[in-house]
Each structure stands twice: as C-alpha cells, then as structure tokens.
Amino acid sequence: MPLTPTQGTILAAIHALTAEHKYAPTLREIADRAGMASPSAVSRQIDRLVELGYVDRQPGTPRSIRLAHGLTRAAVPTRPEEAVGAVRDALCGTTLGALTVGQRVSTSAPRRVGQLHHACPGVEAVPIRGNVPPRLRQMRERGLSGVVLAAAGLHRLSLQENITQYLDPTQWPPSPAQGAIAVQVRSADTALARVVAAVHDAEAAATTQAERALMQILGGGCHVPTGAYASIHAGQLHLLAQVTSTDGRATIRAEATGETDHPEMVGERVAQLLLEKGVEAVLASNT
C-alpha cells in the first residue's frame, strides 16, 4: 500500500536520524525533522507505519500515545526499577540543596522547568535535546551544574551511577506514566497477544491507567506542565497530581484514592479537582 506524503516524510526522517545518531530517534526529534509541530501527530502516523510493516516501535512510555485502529495494548509489564525508587525524576551532577542562584541546570520539559523554578528560584533552566547519553555529555561539555532526567531511563541504560539525587515524587511528581512500558501488538495477532499477556502486571497497568486518564481530561503530553504519581497501598490506588507554571510561581495540587479496579475513575476525579481549583489558567499561561 502506498504511503501518504506525511507518512513518507516521517519515514524519511526516521531513516535520516537513525543514520546520523545511531540510535532510535524520539518522537520530538522526528517531529522536528519532519517539520511537524506535535509529537502526538507523529505517533498516530507511526501507528499506521507499524501496521503497514515499515517500522517497529522500541519499548517506551505510553504516556502520550493513542493506539490507532488495528493495534491493541496487550500488556503493561512490571516496572522493576520501582523497587529502587526509579519511577521518578533524578538529578545528575548536583542536588537540589546544593543549587544556588545563577547556576544552570539542563531540562527542556515545561513540567520540569516549572518544578525546578519552584524548588530553586533563581536557577536557570537550560534546554537540551536528545536521548540520555547526549544529554549527560552536553551537561559536562557546557559546564552545567546538572541535568534532570527520568530515573527509569538511566537505570535501563545502566547509567544510574550518574544519579546524585532521586527527586521525591510526592514533591516533584514525574510525567504521567513515566517509567511504564506498554507492549503493543496487532489486534488480529491473538497468538502473540496471549504470549505477551504473560508479562502483564495489573498494578503497573492500574497506576498507568489512572495517570493517563488524568491527562486525557487535562490534555497535552510532554509539553504540558503536569506531573502525576500513582501508587497502590493496602489494595487502594492513590493518585497525586500537580500542575506548575514554568516560572514556578503558581502550583496547583490535587489527590484522590479509589479502587484499583477502576483506575480511570481515580484519574478523572483528580482531574476534576484540579479544574475546580482553576488549573486551566495555569495551563493556558504555558501555551
């Protein structure tokens, strides 16, 4: 089946970036190369390219990915890093307590920029693009004090020795579904779906679903300053969410607890609480 012009452009961008950098490009990198404003739009086109057999996804976060027709999410595996506190953000090169006015820390995501400015007023957030190894390298080459990254990514790349501080997820909520992996298969491939089901973890799926339900109401993805952290205690699902303006001056928080069998309801409840507190004004200020 012939590709649409947009699909062809995206496929060409993937080939070019892979050849240049020798690693699988991120959705943001593909969007930038293809001249598209939204990584979520790229994700929808990649879903179609997967169906057609042109590309395969590497395991990654499902936080802003909506499945296209013909694909299904067959499993959400256990997050082994959770035992060592890796389902959160981490600072490399410094600690929050050591940062002083005028120091520079690398982070590009609006959520992290806002949280950094809220925790450390006067510290400069410096944007850096790319995957984890290039970001660590640029931190050193540019003389930055530190870089904020997802701890799960550092652990999965065996780069956790670079971590100088794990950031408390109750004070610095990570991106929704951070550290989660969704295994996606073609809907018609029931045999593969049964095999993949063996690695499904109900608790990991519940926490991920709660965080995703929150984001589906508030909208956005990597470019929205929303943090969310779901956890399960004594059979109950607890979700904390926080929206922070990029200047760090405005912070709105909400939390709720509910049944693990209905994670979407918990996510929707927290989203509603945030809306009642006026979160739309903070979100609008970051657009």
Q: What is the band of 164 on the pLDDT scale with cuts at 50, 70, 90?
A: very high
Task: Report yes or no: 200 and 76 within 8 Å, Cβ to Cβ.
Answer: yes
The predicted model gives 139-156 an average pLDDT of 93
Q: Does 130 have pLDDT greater than 60?
A: yes
Whole-number pLDDT of residue 55: 74
The predicted model gives 121-145 an average pLDDT of 92
Domains of the chain: 1-58 (1.10.10.10)
| Distance, CA of 105 to CA of 143 (rounded, Å) | 10
The overall average pLDDT reported for the chain is 85
Q: Does 36 have pLDDT greater than 90?
A: no
Whole-number pLDDT of residue 247: 93
